[in-house]
Chain A
Amino acid sequence: MDIAKLRRMADQIAANFEASGHEAAVASTAEHIWKFWDPRMKAGIYADDPAQLSPIAREAIARLKADAEAA
């Protein structure tokens, strides 16, 4: 998958949740990606350099990645 597109999608989701406050935005971003992204898209963003993401998206991805690894 085109990693630049995945980054942009994740950041876009995060930006639209940002107004709800940091913690809520991280949770909502993570939930959104979990609900709507195909496994190869998730795998692509998990494998990417987190520094390339906005802070909210970065935390959301980290949370999802941890959950996936724990499962």
Chain B
Amino acid sequence: MGYERQKDFGTPESTSDQQVTLTIDGRKVTVPAGTTVMRAASESGGSIPKLCATDNLKQFGSCRLCLVEIEGARGTPASCTTPVADGMVVRTETPRLQKLRKGVMELYISDHPLDCLTCSANNDCELQDQAANVGLRDVRYGYDGANHMGQDVDVSNPYFDFAADKCIVCSRCVRACDEVQGTFALTVDSRGFASKISAGQRGDDFLSSECVSCGACVQACPTSALMEKSVKELGKPERAVVTTCAYCGVGCAFRAEMKGEQLVRMVPWKDGKANHGHSCVKGRFAWGYANHADRITRPMIREKITDPWREVSWDEAISYAAGKIQDIKARHGARALGGITSSRCTNEETFLVQKLVRAGFGANNVDTCARVCHSPTGYGLSTTFGTSAGTQDFDSVEDSDVIILIGANPTDAHPVFGSRMKQRLREGAKIIVIDPRRIDLVRSPHINAAHHLALQPGTNVAILTALAHVIVTEGLADEAFIKERCDWDEYQDWARFVAQEKHSPEFLEAVTRVPAQTVREAARLFATGGNGAIYYGLGVTEHAQGSSTVMAIANLAMATGNIGRRGVGVNPLRGQNNVQGACDMGSFPHELSGYRHISGGEVRKLFEDDWGVSLDPEPGLRIPNMLDAALDGSFRAIYIQGEDILQSDPDTHHVAAGLAAMECVIVHDLFLNETANYAHVFLPGSTFLEKAGTFTNAERRIQPVRKVMEPANGYQDWEVTQLLANAIGCGWNYTHASEILAEISRLTPTFAGVTWERVINGEQLQWPVNEKAPQGSPIMHVDGFVRGKGKFVVTEYVPTDEKTGPRFPLLLTTGRILSQYNVGAQTRRTGNVMWHDQDVLEIHPTDAENRGLKTGDYARLASRAGETTLRVLVTDRVAPGVVYTTFHHPDTQANVVTTDNSDWATNCPEYKVTAVQVTPSNGPSEWQEEYADLTAMARRISGGEMEPAE
């Protein structure tokens, strides 16, 4: 598409079922009751001038530009605050209105710089448009009176500037921050003529304020008062392409606004069903990594990891990699080979990688980064409900009355959905937060959790069983639902189990450290408070009992009848953009696409016939098993697409040893990541802006990824995989991602009705999309569970082996923060480092004082697996005995400290519980110094030394 501003109807849509017919400028218009006159005019093709109104904010009625005449009504009411009525007759253009509007505009323009030709918003400015609309030609008052010209521009934010002299104080930015984002960082300071938009307290600028840089204010601004620096630098975009964000699992739709091959800005797309026009600092602004100087665009090879890299042609690199694979296969068999798919890549790309491993290499040693995040979700929900996915769409939260949020921090990790949740909480829904930390959804502006169950890390199953105990023993279970929808005998077994005294909140208080009365009150609220929804994240899955916790959550939802309609359900918040899709595509070593076990002869034959090969009927190795097998010599080569296991996976020393033991490590990525330190072949990757395909978000929504520019490396990632496949004799001939999607649909029942055309044409398909659900399935298990009857599973609390003691008396739990993403490969190469340039260790004041530590000090963080050093932040967000850090920076590398403990069912690492000791330190650990040397050595490129990326 060319460049045009997104349609703005002025006020929000009404969802009323009742229709109202009125007349606007002689035209009969029928709209839902509750629609404003402004919106009715806009929906019927008209356009009433406006400045303070925009359709993602509530009506405000401030600018007085949208005045209309209504027959029988006095005066000239504002169309943005006047609801339609049956038989109403409206006139939007009369000489009286024109005169009034011109007068309003005259006042605005009398205090506005007349520098349109050099303004960054020239030809893309609502104020300019409205001045033209009302025919303003001069300003009777002149420009010499008191005005706001010449004020300092706030340039503190890395992505946008605030120029107060361009501001018309329409409050759209303030309202966007309040209503859409829910941060309440902005305000109108002072009164009358002195009114000025202010970020935070007086003296704050945007950077030092509470502003989270979501961009909602910039998008709402009708002038250039709030303007992206990139637009100021590059100018107005020429075209816009709608695509899907490649950060978290929310899956926000964006317009990539372009000038030639240059991305000017990413603007959230209002028609995006996951984000409804909202964004966060990562998706909106943190795309600069795509053209960062660290990016590698030429293939490289080396014989040994101690050699410098040698840039080669694609032919040579692919031929070298293929030769290594074939040689190892000849000497050690197919099971010595494997691959890892990426949750950052498209469905089509992950499908091809697993196909390469299974059909090309001849083994099932394929795994994905979901192994280390949501593999327990797949296991737990598949066991209890019959499907490895969440049950709801994001819009469902609008109907929730009570929310349990456990082990997730959506305002940081899934910010756009976090804002949706906050909106619902401000409307009156209640939230119960189960988390060792006091996250923002416990207490922040206009948010006050009904209960915060600040449990001891590692006791999720115990706390959920205690909640279930109260629900069962106090007669709060929804037995009618259970009898109809679930296996009654299994329920009774489970009910007897949870009803045991040893599962009471009082008994378990010593384990969970949550006061029993709080648990009881939370259980009663969830069971009796209306629609109950459970949202969870990696604080659930990344435990020794991750899968049990997921099943305990499912038990709780079934026991309270909270499945199968809007407002309820079990909702895993997926970490990366395509975790759901990567799992759907057969990335796990034991199952083919659509979660069908590899041992199933009929299913395997379907693939064998389609692919023309025989498949190994035995499950393959998971990532941690691959590393173990590498150390015993039975696993020797790996192809890793878009994942940095050295930084992201636990027990870094073990990962490094496993990689070092392999004969051939092929890394396919944008950057020389940490894993590439141990690689022999580097294949340059393409960004999400350079490829076509689909991502599937946490709601199972299959969304288009459109190529907005040519790949800097010459190939989309699926094309690179195909090059490698063909070099080992696969004979593939895909010419477009759509052909891969067609193969996926042909082989995967839940995708049976998905076509490229439907996705590209904007159909919002949430799998399953098949004969039973041709339009997809926003809510699952509506009339019955996929597996038939819902299965209650007895989940005994089994304490983790990771115990505190004299040597390691504290518990470390890890997570992420708003401005950084995962291992930071992308966000560390953007302006987001202004908010977070290093990982810090949060420690409670009591624990800090006992160790003589204060904020800013260096501390040594040690576990039985390893040690690192990082700076300390003393805060009571964490409980005594608990410390917390992030894993975004390789020079800290928190995973040196995490252990090889993992979930019993899936081997998902137990990142959230590590026994540690914290002591004062003078500087980097020995390991950090050695690793810095290794990195400098490993990133040498012959013919030109390359500086380490960090």
Contacts and interface: CB of A to CB of B under 8 A. Distances in A.
A15 interface: yes
Given A2-B632, A35-B590, A38-B618, A16 B796 contact: yes
Contacts of A52: none
B439 interface: no
B904 A16 contact: yes
B597 interface: yes
B900 A18 contact: no
Contacts of B497: 19
The listed residue with most A CB atoms (<10 A of its CB), out of B365, B590, B625, B905, is B625
Nearest to A40: B634
A15 B904 CA distance: 9
Contact of A20 (B335, B618, B794): B794
Given A36-B590, A40-B634, A12 B618 contact: no
A41 B625 CA distance: 8
Contact of A16 (B548, B625, B631): B548
B401 interface: no
Interface in A22-49: 32, 35-41
A38 B545 contact: no
B34 interface: no
A38 B628 contact: no
B335 A13 contact: no
A5 B904 contact: no
A12 B547 CA distance: 12
Interface in B469-527: 497
A51 interface: no
B544 interface: yes
B632 A1 contact: yes
Contacts of B631: 2
A3 to B, nearest CB: 10
A36 B628 CA distance: 16
A5 B628 contact: yes
Given A1-B628, A1-B632, A13-B904, A37 B544 contact: no
Given A2-B628, A2-B631, A16-B545, A36 B619 contact: yes
B629 interface: yes
Given A15-B798, A16-B545, A19-B794, A40 B590 contact: no
Contacts, number: 63
A40 B364 CA distance: 13
Contacts of A12: 544, 798, 904
A22 to B, nearest CB: 13
A39 B794 contact: no
A61 B618 CA distance: 17
Interface in B360-390: 364-365
Interface in B683-705: none
B335 A39 contact: yes
B634 A5 contact: no
B798 A16 contact: yes
Nearest to B635: A40
Contacts of A1: 625, 628-629, 632, 634
B834 to A, nearest CB: 42
A38 B589 contact: yes
Q: Is the interface of A mostly helix, strand, loop or mixed?
A: helix
B599 interface: yes
A35 B619 contact: yes
B357 to A, nearest CB: 13
Interface in B452-476: none
Contacts of A37: 619
Interface string B515-557: 0000000000000000000000000000011011000000000
Nearest to A6: B628
B599 A35 contact: yes
Interface in B625-650: 625, 628-629, 631-632, 634
A20 B544 CA distance: 19
B905 A13 contact: yes
Contacts of A18: 796
Nearest to A19: B796
Contacts of B621: 38, 41
A5 B798 CA distance: 18
A13 B798 CA distance: 11
Contact of A40 (B622, B629, B905): B629
Contacts of B618: 38-39
Contacts of A8: 801
Scoring A2, A8, A16 by chain B CB atoms within 10 A of each residue's CB, the highest score goes to A16
B620 interface: yes
A40 B335 contact: yes
Identify the interface centre among B364, B634, B904, B906: most chain A CB within 10 Å of its CB.
B904
Contacts of B906: 36
A59 B134 CA distance: 85
Contacts of A36: 590, 619, 622, 905-906
A8 B634 CA distance: 20
A65 B805 CA distance: 39
A28 to B, nearest CB: 10
Interface centre among A9, A19, A38, A41 (most CB of B within 10 A): A38
Contacts of A32: 905
Contacts of B801: 8
B904 A38 contact: no
A12 B621 CA distance: 18
Contacts of B900: 5
Nearest to A13: B904
Nearest to B591: A35
B363 to A, nearest CB: 9
Contacts of B335: 38-40
A55 B619 CA distance: 25
Interface centre among B364, B544, B620, B629 (most CB of A within 10 A): B629
A35 B545 CA distance: 19
A35 B547 CA distance: 16
B34 to A, nearest CB: 52
Interface in B869-919: 900, 904-907
Contacts of A13: 904-905
Nearest to B461: A16
A38 B794 contact: no
A40 B589 CA distance: 14
Given A15-B904, A16-B548, A19-B794, A38 B632 contact: no
Contacts of B907: 9
A38 B618 CA distance: 7
A32 B618 CA distance: 13
Nearest to B363: A38
Contacts of B629: 1, 38, 40
Nearest to A39: B618
A1 to B, nearest CB: 6
A7 B544 CA distance: 15
Contacts of A9: 904, 907
A71 to B, nearest CB: 12
A45 to B, nearest CB: 12
Contacts of A19: 497, 794-796
B905 A16 contact: yes
21 contacts: A1-B628, A1-B632, A2-B628, A2-B632, A5-B628, A5-B900, A13-B904, A15-B796, A15-B798, A15-B904, A16-B545, A16-B796, A20-B794, A36-B590, A36-B619, A36-B905, A38-B365, A38-B589, A38-B619, A40-B335, A41-B625
**Closest 10 pairs between A and B when the two form their complex, measured CB to CB:** A19-B796, A12-B904, A38-B621, A16-B904, A19-B794, A39-B618, A15-B798, A2-B628, A13-B904, A36-B590
Interface of A: 1-2, 5, 8-9, 12-13, 15-16, 18-20, 32, 35-41
Interface of B: 335, 364-365, 497, 544-545, 547-548, 589-590, 597, 599, 618-622, 625, 628-629, 631-632, 634, 794-796, 798, 801, 900, 904-907
Given A1-B628, A13-B904, A37-B619, 18 more contacts: A1-B629, A1-B634, A2-B631, A2-B632, A9-B907, A12-B904, A16-B545, A16-B548, A16-B796, A19-B794, A35-B590, A36-B590, A38-B335, A38-B621, A38-B625, A40-B335, A40-B629, A41-B625
